[in-house]
A and B are shown apart, each in its own frame.
Chain A
Amino acid sequence: MNANLTSALIKRIFTVSFILLLLLFFAMVLGLSEGSTGGGFSAIWRSLNPSNADDAMLASIIWKIRLPRVLVAALVGAALSSGGLVFQALLKNPLAEPYILGISGGAAIGAIIGILLGLSRFPGVNLTAFSGSITTLLLILLMASGKSILIKDALLLSGVMVNAFCSAVIMFLISLTQDARLHNIMFWLMGDLSSSDLHQVGILSILLLPCFVVIFRYSNIMNILLLGDELALTMGIHIKRVTLILLTTTTFMISATVSHCGLIGFVGLVIPHLLRMILGPDHRILVPACLLGGGAYMVFCDLLARVLPAQGEMPAGVITALIGAPLFIILLKKTAS
C-alpha cells in the first residue's frame, strides 16, 4: 500500500486551502483597488509611491479605509460561514444557520438599545449588542438544559421561541423611534461594515481566530456526529461535552461578529451548502474551505455594496441577501435532483 496514504487527506486539505487562499487574496486586492471613489489596479501601486496630493489621498483611502474594511469582511465571512457549518452539523439540519438559536435577536435588541441611548458604534453599541446575544444564549441553554439525548431538538425549539420573542421586542423598539436614530438602527439590522477600522480588525482577530482553531480541531468529530448519537457515544465521543464546546465557541464567535457589523444574512446558510456540494461532506476539508471561501465571498459582497450605488454605499447585508437567496434556491434544486 502507498506509504503516503496517510497524507492523502492532508494533501487535499492543503490543496483546497491553497486555492481558496488565492481566491481570498484576489478578492482582497480587488477590494482594495475598487470602492465608491474608484481606483483600479494601478491605484494600489500609486498609493504605495504617492507623488502628489491626489495620490496621498488615495493612499489614505486604500490603506486606512479599504484595508480594515476588507480585513473585517474576510473575518466576518469566515466566522459566519464556519458558524453555519457547525450549526448544520450539530443540529443535523441543512436549514440551520448561525442565527437559528436566537443569538441574532438578542444582539439586535442590545444594539438597538445602545443606539437609542446615543452610544457610538464602537465600543458602545458593540458592547450592548454583545451582552444582548450572550444573554439570549444563556436563556436558551437554561431553557434547553435538563433534557438529555434530545439536546438538539430542545435547543432548536428554544432558539425559535427566543427569536420570535426578540422579533416582537425589536418591532416594538423600532415603532418607538422616530428620529435619525431610526436610520442608524435600520442600517445595523441590515448588516453594515462601514464602521471598520484597524482597531476593530485587531479586536475581531483576537476574538475570532482562536474560535476558528477550535472549530477545526473538532472537524473530524463533526463527521462522526453524522452517524447519530448512539454510535458517536459508543465510539468514544463525549457528545454532551463536544456539543457544549462547539455551541459555546460558535455562539461566541457569531456574537462577536454580529455585535460588530449587524445582521448579515445568508452567508452562514449558503456558503456551507455550496462548498459541501463541491468538496464533499468531510468537515476536515469543509472547515478551512468555509473559512477561506466564506471570507472571499464576504469581501466580494462588501465590494459590491461599496461600488454599486451611484451615491453613498449600501449595507453589505443587502447584497448578501440579494445574492444569497436566489443562490440558495438554485442549490436546493441541485441537491434535490
Chain B
Amino acid sequence: MMLLPVNTLNVQAKTVTDQLERTVIVPDHPKRIVSLAPSITEIVFAIGRGSLLKGVTQFSNYPKAARQIASVGSYIHLDVEKIVVLNPDLCIAVKDGNPKSAVDKLDGLGIPVYAVDPNNLESVMTALIEIGNLLNAEIEAKKIVADMQARINRVKENISKATHIPKVFLQIGISPIVSVGTQTFLHELIVLAGGKNLSEGPIPYPRYSKEQVLSLSPEIIIITSMEREKTFDQAKKEWSTWSDLPAVKNDRILIADSDILDRATPRLVDGLELIARLIHPELFTPYE
C-alpha cells in the first residue's frame, strides 16, 4: 500500500506554520489523528475531538476513554510502523520528547506532523487554540482557555493577599533526589502559587544530596513523581526524621499527584490550584 502525499488525494488542505516554525500541509477536516504524547491526547479529548483519535502513545491514560485507543509506543520511542498502519491524516507532536528521527520518517512518508511546544501555562493555552484550529474546534478551545485563564486569575488574586512567600522544595525524583529549575512549568506553578522555588536556576532538573536539601532549610517539601504511592510514604517518613527542618517542624511535607503536574494539559490549572492550596492553605476556602 503506497501512501500518497495528502494533496494528491484531492482532500482539501491548507498550509500552516506550527509552533516550531515548520511549514506543514494539514487537511482541512482531519478524520484520523494520531497523538504523539499523552498531553496531546488529553488536549484533543478536552476540546471534544476524542473520536478522531485513532492512535495514542503508551501512557495516554487520561481521560479513561483514551485507554481504549490503539497504542503507538511511548512518546520517546515511537513505533513508526504502528503509526503508518493506522493510516492517519494528521499527527500532532510535542517538541520536548518526540524524537526528531521518527517525525522525519513520518514526514518522509507523506504523513503531516504538526508540532506544538507547551512548556508553560501560556504556551499550553496557545497549543490548545492551535489544536482547536486544526481540528475545527475553535469554539470549544476558546472556552477551555477562557476557563483556564479565569481560574488562574482567581488564584493570582488570592495569592496577592499572601503575607509570606515560603521556601518550597519540590521533589520529583526520589533516588536520586531531583528538583525543578526555572525552565520547567512546575517552577512557574510554584511562583504563581505564591512560593519561592529553592531549586530555581539554569539547570532544568538539578540533583541534590540529602545534605544539600537540609542546608536549604525548606519550609515546605512537595513530593511528586511517577512512582507508586508506597515510595511517597517512605520518602515522607525519611524526611520526617530530620526534626530540625522547618518543613518537618511545621508538618509541611506534602504529596501531590504527578499526573496533573507533569503534563502540559488543561489540568495544569488543577495542578496550580493544588499547589496553591498546599502552599497557602490559609488563603483558600475548602472548595473554591
Contact = CB atoms under 8 A, between A and B. Distances in A.
Given A118-B231, A312-B208, A65 B175 contact: no
B176 A312 contact: yes
Contacts of B20: none
Interface in B59-95: 74, 76-77
A183 B173 contact: yes
B177 A118 contact: no
Contacts of A223: none
Given A178-B76, A180-B227, A37 B173 contact: no
Contact of B207 (A56, A60, A312): A312
A306 B172 CA distance: 21
A61 interface: yes
Nearest to A58: B215
B173 A180 contact: yes
Nearest to A60: B244
A313 interface: yes
A37 B212 CA distance: 6
Interface string B227-243: 11011001000000110
B203 interface: yes
Given A118-B227, A311-B203, A184 B209 contact: no
B231 A178 contact: no
B214 A119 contact: no
Given A65-B211, A311-B203, A180 B244 contact: no
Contact of B212 (A121, A180, A312): A312
Interface residues of A, number: 30
Contacts of B99: none
Contacts of A118: 227-228, 230-231
Contacts of B203: 311
A58 B61 CA distance: 44
Interface in A221-268: none
Nearest to B229: A118
B136 interface: no
B206 A311 contact: yes
B67 to A, nearest CB: 17
Interface in B168-182: 172-178
A152 interface: no
B230 A178 contact: no
Contacts of B98: none
A181 B226 CA distance: 9
Contacts of B228: 118
Contacts of B225: 180
Interface in A35-53: 35-37, 53
B100 interface: no
Nearest to A185: B175
A45 to B, nearest CB: 18
B200 to A, nearest CB: 13
B210 interface: yes
A187 interface: yes
Interface in A302-319: 306, 309, 311-313
A194 B231 contact: no
Interface residues of B, number: 31
Interface centre among B174, B225, B241 (most CB of A within 10 A): B174
A195 interface: yes
Interface centre among A60, A120, A184 (most CB of B within 10 A): A120
Contacts of B174: 180, 184
B214 A65 contact: yes
Interface string A68-81: 00000000000000
Nearest to B237: A120
A56 B244 contact: yes
B19 interface: no
A57 B172 CA distance: 24
A64 B242 contact: yes
A185 B173 CA distance: 13
A164 B72 CA distance: 33
Contacts of A183: 173, 175-176, 178
Contacts of A194: 175-176, 209-210
B217 interface: yes
A182 to B, nearest CB: 11
Given A178-B74, A179-B226, A180-B173, A60 B209 contact: no
A41 B43 CA distance: 56
Contacts of A121: 175
A87 B237 CA distance: 40
A160 B32 CA distance: 53
Interface of B: 74, 76-77, 172-178, 203, 206-212, 214-215, 217, 225-228, 230-231, 234, 241-242, 244
13 contacts: A37-B215, A53-B244, A118-B231, A120-B234, A121-B175, A179-B226, A180-B173, A180-B225, A183-B175, A187-B175, A194-B209, A197-B241, A309-B207
Given A57-B217, A309-B207, A313-B209, 18 more contacts: A37-B212, A37-B214, A56-B244, A60-B244, A61-B215, A64-B242, A65-B210, A65-B214, A118-B227, A120-B230, A178-B76, A180-B226, A181-B227, A194-B210, A306-B209, A312-B207, A313-B176, A313-B207
